[in-house]
Chains A and B, each alone.
Chain A
Amino acid sequence: MGNFSRKLERFWEIFYEYDGYQRVLTGLKNTVYIAVVGLAIGIVIGTIIAIIEVFPKYKRLPRILNGFCRFYVALFRGTPVVVQLLVAYYVVLPLLGINLPALNVCVLVFGLNSGAYVSEIMRSGILSVDPGQMEAARALGLSYRVSMMKVVVPQAVKNILPTLGNEFIALIKETSVVSFVGAADLYVAFNYIGTNSYEFMVPYLAMALIYIVLVMAIAFLVKIMERSLRKSDRRN
């Protein structure tokens, strides 16, 4: 046990007396930033794709749009996010001649990646809404787009909120690979502490703890949101 307390002391030294805690804070900030903005982008992309996919097939929507969406989903679900990061950072952006900071590339890639997953979640959510809701809105003279946005999607979002929370949790955890392209997340911070104290046990345990707390906090927030959205189901 004395061994452990010595390790703890070493960790504390680097964490507190050097700039360890600042790096951890930056890492935490970046992790949350990538996940939150990534999910926001993902929800926007996912909703658009889902609406395109559930659009009545015989209507005059360009087929190519549908094909593109299917290709996009296949591409981003079919490759690991690490590969997407590396390809985006070291292949696609240099080829296009765009110079973006690593953090922004990460946000973009995670946004595109979660867009593919959210589109499937959203599609099942939209299909779970009673078709009568759409019919009633259309019968009142509202257009397809407005009926979708005002009536169907809000109900779909309510239905899929737990699944969307899951996606967010998965995203938070997946961000731990962004160090592949040199973005500073939690892993980078704790690795720095470990390297400088020649001791990895405590930093990695601390990292695990932070992830757990983060995920539990999100689960709690999702539950609160769910409850407030469910008010239309409650009998009062």
Chain B
Amino acid sequence: MIDVIDLKKSFGKLEVLKGITTTIKEGEKVAIIGPSGSGKSTFLRCLNCLEDPTSGSIIFEGVDIADMRVDINIHRRHMGMVFQQFNLFNNKTVIENIMLAPVYLAIHDLRMKKLQNFFIRIKNAFSKHKTPLYEIDTTPQKIKEEARENALRLLRRIGLEEKADVYPSTLSGGQKQRIAIIRAMAMNPKVILFDEPTSALDPEMVGEVLDLIKQLADEGMTMVIVTHEMGFAREVATRVIFMDEGRIVEENTPQELFNNPQHPRTREFLSKVL
């Protein structure tokens, strides 16, 4: 689903990613581990172009999204992202947080369709060859209602339905992160990128967030997870990538990588963290 080909990224003179090539297939759960400064977060952020790659390409569903001419916003809709610092919108209530993007984008698309229909009608009036109009089967009202229902359904799923109308500042870290995850889910993404989802949490809240991620993994969601939770990586991931100094040093199934690391650098790292 995502093909990364020779991805490089530099910040000024500092080369953070030195050529990464890998493929993420549909349904895969890829865990990325490695020492800090190894470029794992940068790699993840390059996947949805939050950092523009310096060179190389990222083929997502047949389109090279590293190309600056591509409208990245359309592709980002299908790539959810969960941040270390949650990044819930502070000025919006929980349910507004979840509904903002789906509602705005759906209404925006509806408007564009209506606009195009308007031009097609004008064109049809002057030519014999009639172009069919776009079908419009929804209204802004309906979009909002559906998004609200969907948001409530997701909130119910994580047991935070009664928090729908509070502001994020009143929530605990674990609650915030779980809401950030369902905010990404509300877009029906094809893949979710997790950037150290549990690193900013109190230890007692790590479990609830990992449980939710595991549930999503079991439902077959494709995910890429940068994590320091080795136990979690071993349990959930179908493939583990070990990165160091901007390169993929080793990638393998979790059993193989954790029990039988090939590369000396991997062995050294694992002996420190396990």
Contact = CB atoms under 8 A, between A and B. Distances in A.
Interface in A118-158: 130, 132-133, 135-143, 146, 150-151, 154-155, 158
A99 interface: no
Interface stretch (B74-82, B113-121, B237-245, B259-267): B74-82
Most chain-B Cβ atoms within 10 A of its Cβ — which of A132, A136, A138, A151? A136
Nearest to A232: B167
Contact of A235 (B79, B100, B169, B180): B169
A6 interface: no
A139 B187 CA distance: 11
Interface residues of B, number: 31
Interface in B70-96: 73-77, 79-81, 83, 85, 87-92
Contacts of B166: 236
B87 A130 contact: yes
Contacts of A17: none
Given A132-B83, A236-B170, A151 B91 contact: yes
B70 to A, nearest CB: 13
B77 A136 contact: no
A141 B74 contact: yes
B48 interface: yes
A136 B83 contact: yes
B101 interface: yes
A141 B167 contact: no
B97 to A, nearest CB: 9
B182 to A, nearest CB: 12
A141 B105 contact: yes
A142 B76 CA distance: 8
B76 A135 contact: no
B187 A141 contact: yes
Interface string B43-61: 0000010100000000000
Interface residues of A, number: 24
Given A136-B83, A150-B104, A158 B91 contact: yes
A63 interface: no
Given A132-B85, A135-B87, A150 B105 contact: no
Contact of A139 (B81, B88, B90, B100): B81
Contacts of A140: 76-77, 80-81, 100-101, 183-184, 187
A135 B82 CA distance: 10
Given A142-B101, A142-B105, A137 B169 contact: no
A139 B91 contact: no
B164 to A, nearest CB: 14
Given A140-B183, A141-B187, A232 B104 contact: no
A154 B79 CA distance: 26
B239 to A, nearest CB: 23
A138 B50 contact: yes
Nearest to A236: B170
B176 to A, nearest CB: 12
Contacts of A142: 73, 100-101, 104-105
6 contacts: A133-B90, A139-B50, A139-B76, A139-B83, A140-B77, A146-B104
Given A140-B76, A154-B91, A232-B169, 8 more contacts: A140-B77, A140-B100, A140-B183, A140-B187, A142-B105, A151-B89, A234-B170, A235-B169
Across the A-B interface, give the 6 residue pairs with the lowest CB-CB distance, nearest first: A141-B77, A136-B87, A140-B101, A139-B81, A132-B87, A141-B76
